Structure 1
Amino acid sequence: MSNLINFFAEGFILAGALVLAIAIYPISLLYTRLPTGKIRNAWFFLGVLIVAFIGGYIAYWLQHQGKLVHVDALSVPVIFFFGAVFVLLVNTLSVKTARDIRQIYTLQQENITDPLMGIFNRRYLDKRISDEVWRSKKYRQPLSIFIVDIDHFKQVNDTYGHPIGDEVLKRFAQLVKNSLRESDIVARYGGEELIVILPRTKSERGAQLAERLRLSIAEHLMEIASQCGEKSHEMQLTASIGVAGLTHNIVDHTCLIERADQALYQAKQQGRNLVVHHQEQQSQRV
C-alpha cells in the first residue's frame, strides 16, 4: 500500500511539472504577439516564475523520492498538480481571450472602414459627425468640417483606367490623413469626396488647415506603378475644399454638411484648386 501511495504522490509531482512546462507554450504565443512594453515584460516574468516552479517541483520530488508512503503525504503532490492545471487553464484562456478580442476588434474596424481608401466609411461618418455636433452644442465648443474633392478625377479613370484610379484614391486618402492632426477624423463621403471633421476647432482655423492641405496635395508628386508590371505613372493632383463651421442656427449635422458642400460647389465654380470658407465666403488660390 505504501508503495502505491508513493507511486501516486511522485506521479502527481512529475505530472504537475509536465503541466507547468506545457503552460509555458501559451505564454510564448502571447509574448511573441505583444508589442514591446510593460505587459509583454509581465508575461515574460510570469514565464520565468513558471520555470522556477518547475525547478521547485523537481527539487521536491528528488528530496522526497521514495519517502511519500503515508496517505497524508498525498496532499502536497495533489496541490502541486492541480495548481499546475490551474496555471495551464489560465494561460490557455488568456490566449483564447486575446485572440477573440483581436477578432472582434478586426470585425469592428472592417465595419467602419472603407475597403478601398482605408479610412472611415460613410456609416461611421454619419454617426460620428452627428455625435460631434451634439457634443459641441451641449458643451458650447467650436466645430468645423471641410469636404475635399479631387479635381477632374474622372480624367484619371478615363486616361489610366479604373485600377490606377483606385490606387490614386488610396494614396490620396492617406495623403490627406497624414497631412492633418491626429485629432481630426477623415472619412469617405462618396466617390472621391472626403469629409474631415475637426473637433474643438473654429471654422477660421479649419480654413487654415484646409489651405495647408490643399497646398500639400498640389505639391505632392504621385507615382503609381501599373499592376501588370508596366511603366509607372506620375501625376500631380489638385483638390477643391469647402469649409463650414458650426453656428447657433445650424440645427443638425446635415445642415453643417450642406454648408460645406455649398462652399465646395463655389470652389469648383471659381476654377477649382481652391479653398472656400462658407461663413466668410472667402477663397484662397495657389
Structure 2
Amino acid sequence: MVTGIFLLIAALFPIQRLIRQLPEGASLKPKWQVLNGLIIFFIIGYAAYTIANWQKEISSADLVVPALFFGGAVFVLLVGRLAYQTASDMKKMALLECENITDPLIGIYNRRYLDRILVEEIKRAHRYGSDLSILLLDVDFFKKINDTYGHSTGDIVLKQLGQIILDEVRETDMVARYGGEEIAIIFPETPVSKALSLAERLRRQVARADFVPPDIHSDREISLTISIGVAGLDDETTSASLLLEKADKALYAAKQAGRNRVVAWQEFMGPSSPNS
C-alpha cells in the first residue's frame, strides 16, 4: 500500500506537466484536472486504508485488496506517463508538419502545400457547384530592392509583405509562396468579381505601406507596389495547373500594362483589367 501511494504520487507529475502544456480554454484541460484530483483522492484513500490496517493481523487472503490497490496504482502511473508521452509526440509531429508546409522566410504556406490544397479545393468546388478564385501577385521591380539594399533587406521586405497580406485576407483564404517573390492566395467560395475587390484592396494597402528594414543605411522608407492576376474556376478549368496558368497570364498582363494594377482572366476574352 505504501508503494502504491508513491506510485500514485509519481503519476501526478506527468499529468500536471500535460495540464501545464494545454492552452487556457482548452476543452480537455478541465477533464485532466478532474483526473488529477481523483488521483489525489486515491492517495488519501490509500493512506487512510494503510493507517487503519497498519497493526492488524492479516492472512494471505487479506492481501487481495492491497494487491488490487497496488495494481491500480501501477495502471494509473502507466496511463499518466503514456498520456504525456503521446501528447509530446503529437506536438512534435504537428511542429514537423507545420515546418513541412510553411515557407521559412515569409511565414506563409509553401508551394507544396499550395499545390495540394488547390487540387482539393477544385474538387470540392466542382462537387458542390461553388465558386473558387485564385490570386497571383508579384512585387514590382523587386530586383531593384535587392540590388540597392541587399538580399537580406529584400528578405525583410518579403516578411513584412507577407504580414500585410495575412492581415488583409479572410480566415477562410489560404496564402502561399508561389515562387521567388510571387505569392498565391486561394479564395474558396468566392466569385471572380469578389476576388477582384479583395485584390484591389490588397494592392492599395501595399502601395500605402512603408517598409522599414532595420539594417539599411538610410533613413528613407522603402515603398513598393504589386501586380496581381486573378482567375476563377469554371467548367472549362478542370485542373489546378490550368487555373494557375490563367492567373499567371493575368499577372503577366498586369505587368505589361504598367504594373501596380489588378488584372482578371476572362474566358473567351483573354485577360482584362478592371482598372482600364
Structure 1 and Structure 2 fold alike (TM over 0.5): yes
| Residue type of the alignment partner of 1:140 | G
Q: Secondary structure at the match of 1:128?
A: helix
| Residue type of the alignment partner of 1:141 | S
Range with bigger deviation, 232-241 or 111-120: 232-241
Partner of 1:31: 19
Partner of 1:284: 275
Q: Which runs of 5+ in 1 are unaligned?
A: 1-12
| Residue type of the alignment partner of 2:94 | Y
Q: How does 1:197-276 map to 2 (within 5 A)?
A: 197-226=186-215, 234-276=221-263
Deviation at 1:231, TM superposition (A): 6.7
Deviation at 1:62, TM superposition (A): 0.9
Q: Secondary structure at the match of 1:284?
A: coil
Partner of 1:112: 101
What do you get for the CA RMSD once the two structures are aligned? 1.7
Q: Say if 2:254 and 2:273, in contact at 8 Å, map to a contact too.
A: no
2:67 counterpart of 1:50: no
| Residue type of the alignment partner of 1:144 | S
Q: 1:62 aligns with which of 37, 51, 54?
A: 51
Q: Say if 1:267 and 1:283, in contact at 8 Å, map to a contact too.
A: no
Deviation at 1:83, TM superposition (A): 0.3
User: What's the CA shift string for 1:237-277, capped at 9, x where partnerless?
Assistant: 21111111112222312221111111111111222111112
Q: Say if 1:225 and 1:231, in contact at 8 Å, map to a contact too.
A: no
Deviation at 1:70, TM superposition (A): 1.1
Q: 1:233 to 1:34 in 2, by over 3 A?
A: farther
Q: Distance in 2 between matches of 1:68 and 1:102?
A: 51
| Residue type of the alignment partner of 1:46 | L
TM-score, normalization by structure 2:
0.93
Q: Distance in 2 between matches of 1:54 and 1:233?
A: 67
Q: Say if 1:211 and 1:284, in contact at 8 Å, map to a contact too.
A: no
Q: 1:143 aligns with which of 132, 141, 144?
A: 132
Deviation at 1:139, TM superposition (A): 2.1
Q: 1:68 to 1:82 in 2, by over 3 A?
A: farther
Percent of aligned pairs sharing the same letter: 45
Q: What is the aligned length?
A: 271
2:170 counterpart of 1:181: yes
Q: 1:252 to 1:16 in 2, by over 3 A?
A: same
Q: Which runs of 5+ in 2 are unaligned?
A: none
Q: Secondary structure at the match of 1:235?
A: coil
User: What's the CA shift string for 1:113-135, capped at 9, x where partnerless?
Assistant: 11211111111111211222222
TM-score, normalization by structure 1:
0.90
2:153 counterpart of 1:168: no
Deviation at 1:284, TM superposition (A): 2.8
Q: Distance in 1 between matches of 2:220 and 2:70?
A: 66
Q: Secondary structure at the match of 1:277?
A: strand
Q: Distance in 1 between matches of 2:219 and 2:158?
A: 16
User: What's the CA shift string for 1:92-116, capped at 9, x where partnerless?
Assistant: 0001101111111111111111121
User: What's the CA shift string for 1:35-78, capped at 9, x where partnerless?
Assistant: 01231122122111111111111111111111142111111111
2:4 counterpart of 1:16: yes
| Residue type of the alignment partner of 1:35 | P
Q: Distance in 2 between matches of 1:43 and 1:232?
A: 54
